[in-house]
Structure 1
Amino acid sequence: MPEEREVAVSGQAADHRQIAVYAAPALRPALTVSLLLVSALLLYAANRAAHEGVNRGWFVAVSLAGLFVVRGLHLCRPITLPHVAAAVLMLACANLAYRAEHSLAGFVFLAGTGFVLMLPHASRPHPAHRYRIAELVGRTERDPLAAFALHSAKSYFFDAADSAALAYRTRFGIAVVSGDPIGDRAAFGSLLGEFSVFAAENGWRIAVLGSSPEMVELWRLRAGEHRGLRAVPIGRDVVIEVGDFAMVGRDFRNLRQAVNRTGNFGVTTEIMLESALTEPLRAELLDIVDQWRVGRQSRGFSMILDHLLDGCHPGMLLVLARDAQGRVAGFQRYGIAARGTELSLDVPWRRKDAPNGLDERMIVDLVDYARGSGITRISLAFAPFPELFADKDRSRTGRLIYVLAHLGDPLIRLESLYRFLRKFHSMAERRYVLIRWWEALPAVAALLTLEFVPHRKQY
């Protein structure tokens, strides 16, 4: 018999609980075989009924509902009271439709009963843990994505000692982990193992977006029931090592030219904390954002921050660029990690009439500022598929992938981003997506919708 337990509907830090029944992993094979046999018998009965003039659609609908239940139990998905209520409502609708001789509607409602009963429940954002997460971000070293754990749309899973955590969000039954864990690196192994068990108990599959090479191996060791994760390289971090960066030599000619161009236009820069913004200056910066008519960072998941300029996220640093008339021409926002020694660039903004080279100028001036402020590393962005855009002699497959990459230009111009980042000659280690091949379709759908579908609200 299924085991009855209380599980957190919205994750480890749920604000409320509901009673949920789910199949314990040890019982799953027996339940799966039993329900498969029942479904096979129903299909056999449907075939016999067809020869005797009975409505076969009813039997097929029941069989499909049974198969949905089989799959849900195999995935160990909880059956919560809202799931049961929705399934009962669907069953009632099916009964009414059949009585009214609307066979197609009855078929859909009846087959959908099992689907609704086994729907995965979703995690909820945990914005209340913002300062708890900020403390762990402050302890995390040499991780360019650490600051992005603060995004308010994320859920969090902490280890028992509160020494490490990972950020995730569920979509289509996939728990998408954002980047690497944060906090005490020594606790990462046990954290991943505990999260794998937690995900299995909630009926979620796991995918990881933006894993470092070190964590790829750790996930493979600690994935538990989610073994089989395959690493797909998706790009490289771009990180300036402040102590080693020197804008000299032929390689940096384009960067020097861009910076000098802004000097000819009388551009100056200023560096300040986001918390120090005055209301008139904040309004001026938001006016720059509104020029582009794309919203105020209402989308994104793994490598972007929300709550633009409202002071909600602790420790944000701003670089402002002003033109010769003193008007703000553009700005950049940086998250801070590793006790203030590492910075990560959020989305940069500039006026449409700003001179070329403005972003390069702000970065170079920030590097100069960093040398006297104890900042050792500045992450500029993530460069997707740099080898694809650097390759001049592409194979047929390479040319096809190149064309496909440009189909996404309305969302993000990958080649333009690459050409900007290569000026700094600071390509660092690879980042990977971890998925299981047989779950690729829902996993890719979850990844893309989390990154590119706007959030309904900022939490």
Structure 2
Amino acid sequence: MVPQESRRRRFLRGPRPESVPLLVGGACAAVGLIDVAAGVFPGFRHSRMHTLAEVLPGALGPFAAALSLSSGVLLLLLAHGIKRRKRRAWRSAVILLPAGAVAQFSYRHSVLGVVLSLALCFLLVRHRAEFAALPDPRSRWRALANFFLLGAGSLALGLVIVSVHPGRVVGDPSIADRLQHVLYGLLGLEGPVDYTGATSWTVAYSLGSLGLLTAVTTIYFAFRPEHPAARLGEEDEARLRALLERHGGRDSLGYFALRRDKSVVFSPSGKAAVCYRVVSGVMLAGGDPVGDVEAWPGAIERFMDEARAHSWTPAVMGCSETGGEVWTRETGLTALEIGDEAVVDVADFSLAGRAMRNVRQMVKRIERNGYETRVRRVRDIGATELERIRRATADWRGTDTERGFSMALGRLGDEADGDCVIATAHLAGTGGDDPSPYGDLKAVLHFVPWGEDGLSLELMRRDRSADPGMNELLIVAALQASPRLSVTRVSLNFAMFRSALARGERLGAGPVLRWWRGLLIFLSRWFQIESLYKFNAKFRPRWEPRFVVFRKSGELPRIGLAALQAEGFVNLVPPRPFRPRAPRPCDHRGDRPSDRSVRAA
């Protein structure tokens, strides 16, 4: 008896407040589909409402159809924002749900849709405190995307509207006539297709509402206040540099916090910071927090508060084992190993021995072909040569967009980065006979500081006409020049799933591990997984594990897609119009990792 009363009490009390956004968001999508179907298909009605509909004013039926259609489309667009607790989505849904209920009641349809719409509106109003998330960063591209996507959807939906009245069409219009009628109708004009009775008004109102909806939403996105992608301000950059001077030696990825397309939150004491970028609703942090480890919890708490305020999905890419322990302890998030970073201790590096024979032979062969190397700090390179190096790295890039986020700086030769190191390869004896616009310059490596005694590889680029092996030559040159630069350790590329590749090829590896290794090798056709692991292993490094930190496993696909977008492997942003595409040169298969900044691969 008591359990029955408890269940009855829970039913009357309704769903838990924290589950309302997800529940109402999914239900709003269902109501949106019902509203769209109600506005499009004339037979989508309940017979009990037919008598009431007959006594309504003649213009109310077509108007209700258009209102039902518009409300349904908007509810479908708002459903995701409601699930993410967005305040603006809540405001719009509170207006649209009653409007859709009125439209369904007026246009000969089932009472079920009316009751469901009003019940959802009641839940939204009752639990309005759950919908407090602030807007996402945005740009004017949203208006262009809305125009094309919603316009294409309106065109397809309009073609359905024009074609679902076969018994009331005058004549036999062709597909071209129907398409022309849809285009005219979206603009509020009369088309070539005619109907008997009030159907022509219903079709006209529905098409006009779709056209008006496309125009109004596009204008709204175009003229609303712009919140562009994150930019690191000068004051924040100065504070981060001060933290790196004191604590930069802790993490090889610390200097990448100075990437200027990131935002930053500081701990209350100002002794630690977390840098991040928001991509598709995912709040991505890269590497460990910057600053004093004791102040990390304060910065992490600020990061999580910001994620909750905007209803963003928090995630950390490429943090160290220490960073992963702090993140999971302070937030309750989960850590998963995603790969290893190759770190070479300069004191232990040598080209002697059987293990280094392949690298040694390749370097000697390239040197015999007339190549020489130079390893210098950025501040020691002249402005003219620095500009030539900068233009060469841009032209040698194998993709149209710069790749990298968590392990890339995104710039080269900036005045503020004087401690960075550039290693260049030159073909001696070419003089003015070299047809290249960059003269004897054939390859470039760029390293960022890792504390006072370390370097972290950021960029690898080369001329495709140069001999294979340029990367090996320049890495060896950088390691050999490290004592002169007071460098004791050098971080090379990041190898994703390195441990799985290494263990999967060992004797006695199980079937699951071998299957996983086979899948990684298959994916290496598109992503540099196996090639980077083998390239790094040539230099006999020690491997430092790196982790991804996330809230729940169901969010991993979304986080993975956001990471691929941030790293530049997936581009869901429209390209800039009228920008010439850079030519894509041929690739030398023997020196594959040099076609882009492979730290981000």
| TM-score for the superposition, normalised by structure 1 | 0.75
Aligned to 1:270: 374
What is the SS of the residue equivalent to 1:434? strand
Deviation at 1:423, TM superposition (A): 0.7
Aligned to 1:135: 242
Amino acid at match of 2:493: A
Amino acid at match of 1:71: K
User: Structure 2 CA distance, aligned partners of 1:290 and 1:69?
Assistant: 39
Aligned to 1:407: 526
Aligned to 1:347: 459
Aligned to 1:439: 555
Change (3 A) 1:217 1:122: farther
Answer 1 or 2: higher relative contact order, Cα 8 Å, separation at least 6: 1
CA contact (8 A) 1:334 1:346 kept: yes
CA contact (8 A) 2:70 2:210 kept: no
Deviation at 1:182, TM superposition (A): 1.3
User: Structure 2 CA distance, aligned partners of 1:353 and 1:168?
Assistant: 38
Deviation at 1:160, TM superposition (A): 2.4
Is the deviation greater in 195-204 or in 326-335? 326-335
Q: Does 1:363 align with 2:482?
A: no
Unaligned regions of 5+ residues in structure 2, if any? 1-15, 39-43, 51-60, 86-129, 155-185, 189-201, 431-439, 507-512, 577-601
Q: Does 1:126 align with 2:232?
A: yes
CA contact (8 A) 1:297 1:305 kept: no
Deviations 1:153-190 (A, max 9, x none): 11111122322112110011110111111121221122
CA contact (8 A) 2:282 2:315 kept: yes
Deviations 1:339-359 (A, max 9, x none): x21111111222223334332
Structure 2 matches for 1:232-247, cutoff 5 A?
232-247=336-351
What is the SS of the residue equivalent to 1:141? helix
Change (3 A) 1:42 1:236: closer
Aligned to 2:531: 416
Is the deviation greater in 299-308 or in 176-185? 299-308
Match of 2:275 among 164, 167, 170: 167
Deviations 1:399-440 (A, max 9, x none): 2332123233xxxx3333222211111142111222332223
Q: Does 1:77 align with 2:133?
A: yes
Is the deviation greater in 350-359 or in 154-163? 350-359
User: Structure 2 CA distance, aligned partners of 1:37 and 1:346?
Assistant: 44
Aligned to 1:248: 352
What is the SS of the residue equivalent to 2:45? helix
| Amino-acid identity (%) | 25
Q: Does 1:50 align with 2:57?
A: no
User: Structure 2 CA distance, aligned partners of 1:161 and 1:65?
Assistant: 41
Structure 2 matches for 1:40-119, cutoff 5 A?
50-51=45-46, 52=49, 55=65, 57=69, 60=72, 64=76, 67-68=79-80, 70-73=82-85, 76-78=132-134, 100-102=205-207, 105=210
Change (3 A) 1:69 1:367: closer
Deviation at 1:196, TM superposition (A): 0.7
Deviations 1:372-399 (A, max 9, x none): 4432211112122224544437633432
CA contact (8 A) 1:28 1:76 kept: no
Deviation at 1:216, TM superposition (A): 1.6
Change (3 A) 1:75 1:151: farther
Deviation at 1:222, TM superposition (A): 1.8
Change (3 A) 1:421 1:293: closer
Structure 2 matches for 1:219-234, cutoff 5 A?
219-223=327-331, 227=332, 229-234=333-338
What is the SS of the residue equivalent to 1:152? coil
Q: Does 1:321 align with 2:441?
A: no
Is the deviation greater in 446-455 or in 39-48? 39-48
Change (3 A) 1:347 1:38: closer
What is the SS of the residue equivalent to 2:239? helix
Question: Considering only CA atoms, is the larger Rg found in Structure 1 or Structure 2?
Answer: 2
User: Structure 1 CA distance, aligned partners of 2:23 and 2:72?
Assistant: 18
Structure 2 matches for 1:175-214, cutoff 5 A?
175-214=283-322
| TM-score for the superposition, normalised by structure 2 | 0.59
Change (3 A) 1:66 1:172: closer
User: Structure 2 CA distance, aligned partners of 1:230 and 1:37?
Assistant: 27
User: Structure 1 CA distance, aligned partners of 2:135 and 2:469?
Assistant: 56
User: Which has the larger strand fraction?
Assistant: 1
Match of 1:294 among 398, 401, 426: 398
Change (3 A) 1:325 1:185: farther
Aligned to 2:194: none
User: Structure 1 CA distance, aligned partners of 2:23 and 2:443?
Assistant: 64
Change (3 A) 1:96 1:66: farther
Amino acid at match of 1:396: W
User: Structure 1 CA distance, aligned partners of 2:374 and 2:299?
Assistant: 41
CA contact (8 A) 2:378 2:417 kept: no
Deviation at 1:240, TM superposition (A): 0.9
Unaligned regions of 5+ residues in structure 1, if any? 1-26
CA contact (8 A) 2:33 2:72 kept: no
Amino acid at match of 1:360: E
Change (3 A) 1:276 1:30: same
What is the SS of the residue equivalent to 1:234? strand
Match of 2:505 among 392, 395, 407: 392
Deviations 1:5-42 (A, max 9, x none): xxxxxxxxxxxxxxxxxxxxxx9539649968996997
Deviations 1:262-300 (A, max 9, x none): 332343322222133224323442454355353697332
Change (3 A) 1:254 1:38: closer
Change (3 A) 1:372 1:415: same
Change (3 A) 1:215 1:328: same
CA contact (8 A) 1:208 1:434 kept: yes
Change (3 A) 1:232 1:104: farther
User: Structure 2 CA distance, aligned partners of 1:417 and 1:213?
Assistant: 21
